[in-house]
């Protein structure tokens, strides 16, 4: 974001290009604790970046970045966990003290769920058709089933870690990145794994 802001401020032409083929490997967290720490760190880093470049927000001078990319970051990357949590609190409050329209609630819940898993399923199948990385069809089925279960098990954790990241940034004033524990690719688990040919 700093580079793009500099280019825009200096009226220099630039282009951001997406390369679909991976050029390097990274190690994913090996436990929920490490994953939570990583997500917390990402949330704080996102807030830091947004705050540092807040002049970009809805600023036509920065074109697509100012009018779309930066606002997307604000609402969908930073504020999304907070909005989801407040929405859940509102639903619980309404269930106990209000007069909710349950039939409409269930219809919307099913719609949102089906909308989410449709995108995930499409992404998995499109990736399979485009790159054919997974030769074993059972792996594709596992990925699809996992994507269907994600809203119930994994997504709530993402929301929780996002809330913790906000708490640590604004309340605890936590700035340190912390330690990212890595197992390394030299472990027997990774020695047995074969790189995927593209």
pLDDT at 126: 92
In a domain, residue 5? The reply is: no
Domain membership flag for residue 27:
no
Confirm whether 105 is domain-assigned: yes
28: in domain: no
Residue 195 in 3-state DSSP?
coil
User: Is there a domain that residue 17 lies in?
Assistant: no
Under a CB-based contact definition with an 8 Å cutoff, are residues 198 and 131 in contact? yes
**69 is a domain residue:** yes
Mean pLDDT (10-residue bins), the chain, 198 residues:
94 87 78 92 95 96 94 96 96 92 95 95 91 86 95 96 97 83 65 50
In a domain, 146, yes or no: yes
- DSSP collapsed to 3 states, 72-127: HHHHHHHCHHHHHHHHHHHHHHHHHHCCCCHHHHHHHHHHHHHHHHHHHHHHHHHH
Helix axes 102-131, 137-170, angle to 10 degrees: 120
Residue 175 lies in a domain: yes
Q: What pLDDT is stored for residue 83 in this prediction?
A: 96
* Domain of residue 75, residue span: 34-179
Distance from C-alpha of 58 to C-alpha of 64, rounded to nearest angstrom: 9
pLDDT value, residue 135: 82
Counted domains in the chain: 1
- 17 and 143 in contact (C-beta within 8 Å)? no
Whole-prediction pTM value? 0.84
Residue pair 88/37 in contact by the 8 Å Cβ criterion: no
């Amino acid at each position: 974001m700093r580079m793009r802001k500099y280019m825009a401020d200096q009226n220099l032409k630039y282009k951001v290009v997406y390369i679909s083929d991976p050029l390097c490997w990274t190690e994913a967290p090996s436990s929920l604790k490490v994953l939570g720490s990583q997500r917390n760190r990402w949330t704080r880093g996102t807030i830091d970046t947004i705050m540092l470049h807040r002049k970009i927000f809805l600023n036509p001078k920065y074109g697509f970045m100012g009018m779309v990319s930066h606002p997307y970051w604000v609402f969908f990357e930073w504020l999304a966990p907070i909005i989801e949590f407040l929405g859940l609190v509102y639903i619980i409050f309404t269930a106990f003290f209000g007069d909710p329209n349950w039939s409409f609630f269930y219809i919307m819940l099913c719609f949102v769920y089906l909308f989410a898993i449709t995108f995930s399923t499409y992404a998995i199948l499109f990736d399979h058709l485009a790159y054919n990385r997974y030769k074993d069809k059972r792996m594709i089925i596992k990925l699809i089933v996992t994507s269907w279960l994600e809203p119930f098990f994994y997504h709530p954790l993402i929301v929780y870690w996002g809330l913790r990241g906000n708490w640590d940034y604004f309340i605890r004033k936590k700035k340190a990145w912390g330690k990212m524990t890595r197992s390394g690719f030299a472990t027997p688990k990774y020695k047995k794994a074969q790189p995927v040919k593209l």
